[in-house]
Amino acid sequence: MDYRGIFEDAVDALRQEKRYRVFADLERIAGKFPRALYRDSADNAREITIWCSNDYLGMGQHDSVVSAMQQTAGRLGVGAGGTRNISGTNRPLVELERSLADLHRKEGALVFTSGFVSNEAAISTIARLMPDCVIFSDQLNHASMIQGVRQSGMQKHIFRHNDVAHLRELLAATDRKRPKLICFESVYSMDGDIAPIAEICDLAEEFGALTYIDEVHAVGMYGERGGGICEREGLMDRIDIIEGTLAKGFGVMGGYITANKAIIDAVRSYAPEFIFTTALPPALCAAARASIEHLKKSSVERQQHKRQARLTKAILADAGLPVMDTPTHIVPLMVGDARLCKAASDMLMDKHNIYIQPINYPTVPKGTERLRITPTPLHTDEMVFELRHALVSVWASLEIPREQASAEITASKLTSGDLTLPTVGG
């Protein structure tokens, strides 16, 4: 039996579809965000600018977050030493869960090793505990939510993305007496669009369904205290389960759900993904909590984030680059071809020291391959202009079509206020 050949063939199939993934070897430089050392295939290092990180606010290098981790590791050591049930429930973890419940104004919170695990564990466990439950799941839900739905083994209906009329149809066609769970996201990370949350809550009320929202791409970044889109729109109390990550806007690692005490206690008691794994280490919990608490009080990061995202969109669109218009901080640049998308990414890195990972199938549908750009508060105006220059040059070299550039947005126009942008602190 040629076991080795089986695996090589499997990977070759991906190569042929232009889906083979190459990871960038990075060493982020604390204090120089978003700069990092990149090592090429020959292990030669050079400094580059990252334009595709999900450390959306740079909190992974924030002084208060880094020192919380260092100090806690010094005092409590590095590992948790056990599962939650057997000696692993450490004080910083307890405090972290309180901080999260407070963030979303819920009775309780439960922390998992990642956002992926929190979705898989919570959705599957909650659905399984409701006899004869039917799940209604948005068509573009993240892989971790799909995994949770599958794992529950319950009947499911997929509604067209953000299509409230379709969701209504599916709910109306379901026996009123059966328990129902509606699963969706607030910010969808690849298109950067936002769900009609209030309308979905209206439907949930009308048809007696439980609501589960993934706010992974919104926590820390939206709302008065960083509670996400639901906080911004005054809808937190209308959602039964809010899920989030500690790894993106908060810049650390781990995932969580918040909900009423009954749901939290049930997931805590029944989800194998929660029970049979070692608890998060105290230093990591302390760092995550420092980040959450900082962002509850400080809005400077959110305002500057919004400004740099709007600036990036305006500058790139102005150069005739195919920026998708989004109501969020995510800036997708459509390429529409897997090979070109990879080539553009390679050229940005090799010629311009700019790192933007190509996003190909199955993360996005075939024909919608793109560069997903994530400006942060720490990308300077100068970096945005460098990005524009690099992209225009790459688009020309690869002969990717772009629209006619309008009158150039220049640095002077920007400072003279010709471009309407929110001001920091305003």
Ligand X SMILES: *Cc1c(COP(=O)(O)O)cnc(C)c1O
The residue among 49 and 144 lying less far from ligand X, judged by its C-beta, is: 144
Q: Establish if 62 lies at the interface with ligand X (CB under 6 A).
A: no
Residue corresponding to tokens 């309780």: 108
Smallest separation, CB 143 to ligand X (Å): 8
Q: Residue with the closest Cβ to ligand X?
A: 115
Give the integer Cα–Cα distance in Å for 282 and 305.
29
- Helix ranges (H only) for 333-400 are 338-352, 381-397
Smallest separation, CB 270 to ligand X (Å): 21
The residue among 356 and 409 lying less far from ligand X, judged by its C-beta, is: 356
Smallest separation, CB 135 to ligand X (Å): 16
Smallest separation, CB 374 to ligand X (Å): 12
At 36 the three-state DSSP class reads strand
Using CB under 6 A, which residues numbered 177 to 216 contact ligand X? 185, 189, 214, 216
Q: Which of 106, 180, 248, 313 is catalytic?
A: 248
At 227 the three-state DSSP class reads coil
Give the interface size with ligand X as a residue count (CB under 6 A): 14
Q: Establish if 119 lies at the interface with ligand X (CB under 6 A).
A: yes
Smallest separation, CB 372 to ligand X (Å): 11
Whether a cis peptide bond, with omega within 30° of 0, leads into 34 is yes
The residue among 220 and 255 lying less far from ligand X, judged by its C-beta, is: 255
- For every residue of 160-201, DSSP letters joined together read PTT-HHHHHHHHHTS-TTS-EEEEEESB-TTT--B--HHHHH
Give the integer Cα–Cα distance in Å for 90 and 81.
9
- Catalytic residue list contains 248: yes
Residue 8, judged by CB atoms within 10 A of its CB (0-12, 13-18, 19+), counts as exposed
Give the integer Cα–Cα distance in Å for 414 and 314.
11
**Which range binds ligand X by CB under 6 A, 18-26, 63-71, 108-116, 203-211?**
108-116
Give the integer Cα–Cα distance in Å for 345 and 397.
12
Going by C-alpha positions, the residue among 385, 332, 381, 390 that lies closest to residue 357 is 332
Per-residue binder mask for ligand X (CB under 6 A), 140-179, x = binder:
--x-x-----------------------------------
Binding residues for ligand X, rule: CB under 6 A, are 114-116, 119, 142, 144, 185, 189, 214, 216-217, 245, 247, 255
Catalytic positions: 248
